[in-house]
Chains A and B, each alone.
Chain A
């Protein structure tokens, strides 16, 4: 028997964080996505304990200021792409600069230096990932997906999908469903 699940990643992460912090008896205040204000000073030992607990969920405490900012850029982009309630009417570059309070040039250089890729490529990758999820889970048509992801046309989405992954959306769908058939037979 196979059961399909639907996740709310934000809620899952938040719950994991809350449980871990409570388990260590730490007073905290969740200030935003990926940011926790600790209401007490942590000894290095206790901080290490917390880091170890979080490590089990692949959550990492980010130390370096540059990495923190890069993480914020990523979070902002992921929120823009995956969260349909976040409506962005301005250009992405302006939105990022505005939200994170740095010039876009600075953000863009920093991002490339740390991640080996550009902000533009990162956005495309995230959009295509979202498109893949929609193709697999919701059985939406490409037209609907193109609309959801703000593409001007289905052709534009298909072209970008093919350019990013090397395969067409329909080949992708075929491969994933064949993989599923095989794993169900086993």
Chain B
């Protein structure tokens, strides 16, 4: 069971955020494989490719050039091929309105980007372990909502 990797993807246009994100996962003890994309267009091209290895968890920044996180979310939710992916919104905004809107549109997790690396590690570890519980225990993903 431990030899299985957890596949993670992040789409974020901010280079520093992408680097912190990858570094955080490298320091966690959980076996993960992390891929990153600079914007929504690259992300959707990758996901729509036929032989694509779908991630367990997908992190979406809301504000990206060319295609925003919300547009990606809607495209992903409209395609049943992506039903098993847990979607995490990874944003600097923490307005109640944004949060509830993305949940209603089908996001499972909402994370306000933490300001310290230590918190980031803690938050990402919690996301991955909670998602793992849903994944391995056959819990109903439709009821999976988590805000951090």
Contact = CB atoms under 8 A, between A and B. Distances in A.
Interface size class of A (residues with CB under 8 A): 20 to 34
B110 interface: yes
B1 A114 contact: yes
Interface stretch (A26-34, A83-91, A94-102, A176-184): A176-184
Interface of A is mostly: helix
Given A165-B147, A175-B145, A116 B30 contact: yes
Interface in B95-134: 100, 103-104, 106, 110, 129-130, 132-133
A95 B143 CA distance: 29
Contacts of A54: none
B93 to A, nearest CB: 15
Contacts of A172: 145
Interface stretch (A43-51, A129-137, A145-153): A129-137
Interface residues of B, number: 23
Interface of A: 58, 64, 67, 74, 114-117, 122, 125, 129, 132-133, 136, 165-167, 171-172, 174-176, 178-179, 182
30 contacts: A58-B138, A64-B1, A74-B137, A115-B132, A115-B133, A116-B30, A117-B129, A117-B132, A125-B133, A129-B139, A129-B140, A133-B143, A136-B143, A165-B145, A165-B146, A165-B147, A166-B146, A166-B147, A166-B148, A167-B103, A167-B145, A172-B145, A174-B100, A175-B100, A175-B104, A176-B142, A176-B143, A178-B104, A179-B104, A182-B104
